[in-house]
Amino acid sequence: MATPRGTKRVEGDMTARGTAVLTGLLGQATLMYGASSMLISGVPSTLINNMAVTPRIRKIAVRVEVPDGTWTDGTAVTTALTQFAQTFALPTSGAASQFMFVQPALGGSSSTSNGEGHAFFQAWTNSTAQIVARQTVQIEPDINATQVDFIPLGKPFAALGATGVMAAISARGCVGSPAINFAMRTFTGDPTIASTWGASLLGVDKTFSSTTEDYNSGDMAISPGTVGWAQIGLKVPSGSYYGTLDIILAVKY
């Protein structure tokens, strides 16, 4: 198991306007890909007017500024100076796992009127993944009008133990419904001597039919074999289309 990935400590004042849990302290987003759980721990130092604090998480598919609209709440803490440590299960397969990041927070509520409080918290995930590329790719028809194009994403990464990759793409300025896929190549002993690109990692090419669209590939299984390094490439089938893709690529071990 890899060392847990921790967020920065978050501390501050919180308020509540009723029984509905409203986010009061928001933590930093961290990799959800490759993780099966997130733990949030902390202490409310002050709780006034029946104030309660509730650990919560939300998922982010592509961009931190566009999170999923649903919060998952833990158990409310209603007594000041009570330490808490709560674990949230994260989906690791299927559509529910097609998120790159997870974000922790503390929500506040009050059973009477306006509540106030002060608290701090920190969070950890057990992710075995790491981001290996943050890259902007411009698709132009003069590059791939007659043949498939492969664009390397990031630098070669260590192949030992790599089992999957995930891509989060923010596409904009798309004209002509650009299509993409992903492929892998390997480097046995010299990171400057690559194999040919392998088979497509997505079963079906992804087509961006909207001018602007966010897309998460989900887990794409890889098996580099006995080699030193591997690298993922953006595969662009031939066609006359345009688009700008902001890509975050993570590898799971």
What CA–CA distance (Å, rounded) separates 63 from 214? Answer: 8
Residue 155 pLDDT: 96
Tokens of 198: 């392998």
Instruction: Note if the pTM is more than 0.85.
Output: yes
Residue 145: per-residue pLDDT: 66
Going along the chain from its start, the domains and CATH numbers come out as 5-125 (2.60.120), 129-252 (2.60.120)
- What is the structure's pLDDT at 239? 84
Q: Quote the CA–CA distance of 117 and 84 in Å, as a whole number.
A: 15
What pLDDT was estimated at residue 143?
64
Q: For each of the chain's 253 residues, which pLDDT tens digit applies?
A: 567 889 999 999 999 999 999 999 999 999 999 999 999 999 999 999 999 999 999 999 999 999 998 999 999 999 999 999 999 999 999 999 999 999 999 999 999 878 999 999 999 999 999 999 999 999 987 666 678 899 999 999 999 999 999 999 999 999 999 999 999 999 999 999 999 999 999 999 999 999 999 999 999 999 999 999 999 999 999 888 999 999 999 999 9
- Measured over the CA atoms of residue 90, residue 106, residue 69 and residue 72, the dihedral's sign is positive
